[in-house]
Chains A and B, each alone.
Chain A
């Protein structure tokens, strides 16, 4: 057991836990941030993706001892009112089916489009193909990412 100051969505939480505990379970079981999902536990499905200093990481592969000094953002903190360009585009393109994988997908896509005028299909494939959507919503997801990139780069 050790004490950690964990910064999530701009708030510092004091957590006393096993340093080997994956961030995923800290978020879900301690901080009640259940938007970040468990899917595989070994970093091969992407459902647990969060931002670490702005970069998408798998929270199931990130242990508590790796977190000090870093800032994390989860789906709950991606935007104040659910109005991040990816969130809006996901609604506009009616992407979600069961919805379970979508938080991880959106976090990955949000990092992909940041600062870009345009994304190519190849970039989308490269960024999103470590994720699993068992409902197969990829066609609409691809459209949503293109839309989000266009909207985000509007002056």
Chain B
């Protein structure tokens, strides 16, 4: 969260001063002339085409629809004249953020894009007014033309472009009143739909450049190990194999096999023989590591406070009823359907890269560093991403491709196989949570203590040991999210964290720290509710009062908004009504909620049934209520709700990565199973109308689903499962 907030502040600053140079970009070759380029985001050419530059990576969250909507709302151009261009780091985007993370694409561009659109509109109107010798106030912009209402004259943006470029740039263009919005707030279909359904959409793996070779790479299976020696004699005999090269700049060192096509490289790799220096982690075992985490939990050394209200230990000691429970969350892979890949073409003094990445700036910077070039010498084309989910914030595969292209002196596409992708990632770390709670004589919750043991996600650059010593309580620098920002008003609340890192590389996974902490928190609330013989919804509501605002550093969390989404979800789900029930299945409902980054409020009710004999689990329906401020594209939000729920459900019922003998056990979708069509529940999403600025929603729907389902299972069969995934075996035990 700290990094997300810092980034947002940074990007707001960077985009406050718009880039106003008028320059003909050389990124596209057309016979038309760019006449008007009022800022980095917009250009208008003589053929009346309006180009919009997209400053985030499209990975399914819909930025190539939402971002244009914000620009067009103010620009008043017509969708039919729009061409979308993907921004590249450097050049006119120097200082403008392109990194896509933290559910921040809408939040981070909302002001800048509307301002960019309004600037262009005002200059086009000024141009028309000058031409017609009328006052700008008597002109209006509509669907790509400026109209003079009184005389019925109109001129297209293309025709006005040259004159518009000569107009003074408005310092603070007047933005439209929200009430007049025509696009923002209107459900809008995805701009890439037609390209996708016809197979024309280009993902990273679809990149083809002249003279390109193809490569796969065998990597050291043990984290921290490296290549001792390799024998490529059989590999080089495979038809189509061109080069065999040791590569050391990626996540794990290894040997790349380069061929005329992907299959030649794969065949060559099959017969490659590599001897590894296994390094210090040859024996790493994730189950043993869970034991180490339990020991750390019990020893309680090195815990640092992230939240402290009242006196939780004393309140707990005085409680009439005390409860405690431990929850665990396994390692998770991102497993986007498009595996990691990158095309690199390294020349003597320059480098060109085509890559599906969430981090184009990092791709450029790290390639430049590896090559000893200036960043300006590295051109990064961001393709469509076949899923990102946080994995593509790392650029290890970019470094590999760049190193390889430099070594062979040719453009090359480095392809990760599914097994590579599953075994070599920046995994969601495993995690253990222990919570104690106390009830008074009336069954009211009076004490809450949550201790987390897990990775601090060091790849994110979150608090160092030194920084932790100076950590301010209640600040959003605290980790982990979901625990320090516990939204419920417990009179006595303490949360602390013991960082414990394994050798496994870890990184942000959709919703980052929230899934394990919220699974534990919302499950334990359910346990407390049952212990006090109260309805789990009512139990939560009594801890959330309208108008009660919790301050956490510079963030404000409105408990009333959380209460409202809980009530809305419960109402729409028919919380108080009986479930259908059937002779062979036990049915139950569960509820859970969360506040994502203090600005997105969400509650979910899951309807679940469990087979009385086989104990198989079916999630039939999920009702989701959301308050995340103004929603730019309601159709997009609904899609992200469905998507986040399915993502979280995969981890709830199936997904985990085990490490044995220093390496990941799971290799493909057969042993790392995810939710498929037959397990997909009916999802209903309800949006609370809001006038507040937009919040982020790419990750928000993920955290509540695991506890909602766990709570529903408890309601159905009375069995509490505290370690994910929840399997029929665990319900039979």
Chain A residues in contact with chain B, CB under 8 A?
Answer: 1, 17-18, 21-22, 25, 28-30, 32-42, 44-45, 47, 74-76, 78, 82, 86-87, 90-91, 94-103, 106, 124-126, 128-142
Contact = CB atoms under 8 A, between A and B. Distances in A.
A136 B384 contact: no
Interface of B: 58-62, 189-190, 192-194, 196-203, 205-206, 208, 214, 239-240, 261-264, 267, 335-339, 384-389, 415, 417-418, 635, 639, 642-647, 649-650, 668-670, 674-680, 682-683
Contacts of B336: 98, 100, 134
Given A1-B239, A97-B60, A75 B199 contact: yes
Contacts, number: 191
27 contacts: A18-B264, A28-B206, A29-B263, A30-B261, A34-B205, A35-B199, A39-B338, A40-B668, A42-B668, A42-B670, A45-B669, A74-B199, A78-B198, A82-B197, A87-B197, A87-B198, A94-B193, A94-B635, A96-B190, A99-B192, A100-B337, A102-B196, A103-B196, A129-B676, A136-B646, A139-B682, A139-B683
Given A18-B267, A100-B387, A103-B199, A132 B668 contact: no
A37 B386 contact: yes
A101 B338 CA distance: 9
B199 A25 contact: no
Contact of A100 (B197, B203, B643, B649): B203
Contacts of A134: 335-337, 387, 389, 647, 674
Given A97-B639, A125-B678, A141-B677, A91 B197 contact: yes
Given A18-B267, A128-B677, A139-B642, A39 B418 contact: yes
Nearest to A108: B677
Contacts of A99: 60, 192, 196, 201, 203, 384, 386
A134 B644 CA distance: 10
B208 A137 contact: no
Nearest to B422: A40
A91 B675 contact: no
Contact of A37 (B338, B415, B639, B646): B338
A106 B668 contact: no
A41 B417 contact: yes
- Enumerate the 8 nearest inter-chain pairs by beta-carbon distance, A residue then B residue, closest first: A35-B199, A136-B646, A100-B386, A98-B60, A97-B60, A138-B680, A75-B199, A99-B196
Q: From DSSP, what is the main secondary structure of chain A's interface residues?
A: loop
B676 A98 contact: no
Contacts of B61: 97
Given A39-B339, A40-B418, A133-B646, 13 more contacts: A33-B199, A38-B205, A39-B418, A75-B199, A87-B197, A91-B193, A128-B676, A130-B676, A132-B676, A134-B674, A136-B642, A137-B642, A138-B677
A30 B674 CA distance: 32
B418 A29 contact: no
Contact of B197 (A17, A34, A106): A106
Contacts of A21: 263
A76 B198 contact: yes
B381 to A, nearest CB: 16
B547 to A, nearest CB: 36
A106 B189 CA distance: 18
Nearest to A86: B197
B199 A76 contact: yes
Contacts of B338: 37, 39, 98, 100
Contacts of A128: 676-678
A106 to B, nearest CB: 6
A50 to B, nearest CB: 11
Contacts of A98: 58-60, 336-338, 384-388
Contacts of A142: 677, 680
B387 A132 contact: no
Max count, chain B CB within 10 A of own CB: residue among A29, A90, A103, A139 = A139
A152 to B, nearest CB: 15
Contacts of A90: 193, 196-197
B643 A137 contact: yes
A11 to B, nearest CB: 15
A133 B199 contact: no
A100 to B, nearest CB: 3
Contacts of B196: 90, 96, 99, 102-103
A132 B337 contact: yes
A154 B201 CA distance: 30
A96 B335 contact: no
B197 A96 contact: yes
Contacts of B385: 98
B657 to A, nearest CB: 15
B674 A132 contact: yes
A34 B195 CA distance: 12
B228 to A, nearest CB: 28
A77 B263 CA distance: 24
A136 B643 contact: yes
B190 A47 contact: no
Contacts of A78: 198
B525 to A, nearest CB: 26
Contacts of B202: 34
Contacts of A18: 239-240, 263-264, 267
Contact of B189 (A94, A97, A126): A94
A87 B199 CA distance: 10
A140 B203 CA distance: 22
